[in-house]
Amino acid sequence: MADAKLQIIPLGGLGEFGMNCLAIRYKDDIIVIDAGLMFPESELLGVDIVVPDITYLVENREHVRGIVLTHGHEDHIGGLPWILSELNVPVYGTEFTLAYVEGKLEEHKLLDDTELIEIAPGSKFSLGPFTIEPIRVTHSLVDCVALAIDTPVGVIVHTGDFKIDLSPPDSKAFDLHKFAEYGQRGVLALLQDSTNVDRPGYTPSEWSVKPRLDELFSRTKKKLFFSCFSSSIYRIRIAIDLAHTHGRKVAIVGRSMVESSEIAQDLGYLEVPPGIIIHPGQIADYDPEEVMILISGTQGEPMSALSRAAVDNHKHARILPGDTVVLSSRVIPGNEKSIFRVIDHLYRRDAHVIFDDGASGLIHVSGHASQEEQRLMINLLRPKFFIPVHGDYRHLKKHAEMAQNMGVVDLALVIENGDVLELDQDDARKTGKITAGRVCIDSGSTADVVEDLVIRDRRHLSEDGFVLPILTINKLSGKVERLPEIVSRGFVGADQELMEAARNVVSQTLENSSDEEKADYGVIKEKIRIDLKRYIQKNTSRRPLIMPVILEI
């Protein structure tokens, strides 16, 4: 099989933000890079999380050698419990990433059954025919890696999420030299993060937020509430350092913030000055100007600590007039409503609110590479083939055009979830499609999968409501004992006259049905549903969900 080709098969993250998951196959060996989730759009009513459809991996379970993680953000590790409940394969990740994964698997009672294997930048390991070298990259989270994968057809590099920060707060800089080495050796294909392809120039370093935050700390007279993503360890570190400099104690509030800061301290990513951390219950023991509250909930999540504090519903974190609240994070598209609702509540409490509105100075920087950094990576690696990953279709398309126009790569290809891209030393082309898509899950359980039909029904109910015709049938004689009752909820136009007419429609349907049809509840329910639907649609132009109920007496 000298002519065997390498297959790259995205299962999520290409054509959307989040749910990053990509399979790489050579003959009978498959490795999976990342296993993310995404949070649902508003039209996915009642759905808690969305994960990739892994039908392809389940069908080829005996070939899957392992899942390799680039870093610990939810859009790269959040789908693991779902995937591992279907496939029992080892999971590879850096020390910090696996610390996050452990907590997630423990929550889903999968930790004891899963083999977690720690990897480190510069230490190669093999999975089947693949030799993988993690390479240190910088991002908004710590301990992140890109993956250089040596395959039988050539080297492919997957950047993961990255920006080029040569002086990050933990002094573990982006490893430009290692990428340059691979560029010298020759790279067959580069899969590069497209998130910020719309942004010209360079993404600023994490340190660049410090001057503006320092200014805010120095002029805040009362309590200071500081909120950022709980995984933004660099930002937490800068905030704690500034609190120490300005003589404030730090109370950490919110489960995710407490967990993240504990993991970061245990692994040495967060050095906390002795005596600075206080229990949230001690906040009231200090003068307002002596306290900073590090609080989770930047995206306005309904039950987060910040959302509860904003409506005076938190046991320890009370926001009073004159307090300052700093939201050091970006607004994730889709979360605008909930974030601005929280900001409104904060203003009602006469708090000073500082958020990333473009006018407040630099209080947040992105964790993703802008155009010049993307170009720099392409020039360093000089790949033969270029494949953009992570982003909506327009981002992938723009990124591919940018790479092609540089004149460095032979061919830039846009692929989407489910496409099968086949590569060898000379050629790269799409050769087919596999089953891919999204699986909606309620309440975070790996069991509660929400079918498309359920979401359609929920949408239907939310738009037109429902109507319940209730019939009482004598079990022995098969006769209808009384006039049908009609109950409706959320159905506009359900006036007395219409309901009366609807009862007559149901009675008429029953009269026109034979005894045999009446005895078959499935048939009679469907006849009533069709006749009532036709009548209501004709008279109101609405289509409520109609669910006939038969009571036996």
CATH dotted code for 452-552: 3.10.20.580
| Per-residue model confidence as pLDDT tens digits over 494-539 | 678 888 888 889 888 888 888 777 777 788 888 888 988 888 888 8
**437 annotated to bind ligand:** no
User: Among the options 158, 345, 368, 399, which is catalytic?
Assistant: 368
Contact criterion met (CB below 8 Å) for 80 and 105: yes
Fold exhibited by the domain 6-201+366-444: Metallo-beta-lactamase; Chain A (3.60.15)
**399 annotated binding-site participant:** no
User: Mean pLDDT throughout 234-250?
Assistant: 96
Q: Which residue has the higher pLDDT, 473 or 426?
A: 426
Cα–Cα distance list, 143 to 40, 232, 268, 358, 521 (Å): 27, 12, 11, 29, 62
Q: How far apart are CA 439 and CA 74, in angstroms?
A: 16
Task: Single out the catalytic residue among 34, 193, 241, 464.
Answer: 193
> Is 71 annotated to bind ligand?
yes
Q: Is residue 158 part of an annotated ligand binding site?
A: no
- pLDDT of 2 strictly over 50: no
Residue 69 has pLDDT above 80, yes or no: yes
| 206-355 and 452-552 agree in CATH topology | no
Percent of the chain exceeding pLDDT 70 equals 93
Q: How high is the pLDDT of residue 358?
A: 63
> Helices 371-381 and 176-185, interaxial angle, to 10°?
40
Which band of pLDDT confidence, cut at 50, 70 and 90, is reported for residue 376?
A: very high
Judged against a pLDDT cut of 90, whether residue 547 lies above it is answered with no
Is 367 annotated to bind ligand?
A: yes
Rounded to an integer, the average pLDDT of 464-469 is 85
Instruction: Give the DSSP H/E element, type plus range, for residue 482.
Output: none
**Catalytic (active site) residue 515:** no
Known catalytic residue at 316:
no
Q: Are 280 and 292 in contact (CB under 8 A)?
A: no
pLDDT for position 1: 40
Q: Evaluate whether 209 touches 238 at the Cβ level (below 8 Å).
A: yes
pLDDT score recorded for residue 446 = 47
Domain-wise residue ranges, the chain: 6-201+366-444, 206-355, 452-552
Residue 8: pLDDT band with limits 50, 70, 90: very high
The alpha helices in 198-272, defined as continuous H runs, are: 210-219, 233-245, 255-266
Instruction: Output the average pLDDT for the chain.
Output: 90
**CATH class for the domain made up of 206-355:** alpha beta
Flag whether 316 is marked binding: no
Query: Which residue did the predictor score with more confidence, 487 or 77?
Result: 77
48 labelled ligand-binding: yes
* Tens digits of residue pLDDT in 143-197: 999 999 999 999 999 999 999 999 999 999 999 999 999 999 999 999 999 999 9
pLDDT tens column, 318-341: 999 999 999 999 887 777 888 999
Is 79 part of any known ligand binding site? no
Over residues 450-455, the mean pLDDT reads 64
For the stretch 96-110, pLDDT in tens is 999 999 999 998 899
Confidence of residue 479 (pLDDT cuts 50, 70, 90): confident
For residue 302, the model assigns a pLDDT of: 80
Say which range, 31-40, 56-65, 86-95, has the weakest mean pLDDT: 31-40
pLDDT reading at 308 higher than 90: yes
Average pLDDT, stretch 221-238? 95
Name 250's bridge partners.
277, 292
Q: If you average pLDDT over residues 37-52, what whole number do you get?
A: 74
pLDDT in tens, 80-94: 999 999 999 999 999
Decide if pLDDT at 461 tops 80. no
Residue 395 known to bind ligand: no
| 139 is annotated as contributing to ligand binding | yes
CA atoms within 13 A on the CB side of 488: 22
pTM of the full structure: 0.83
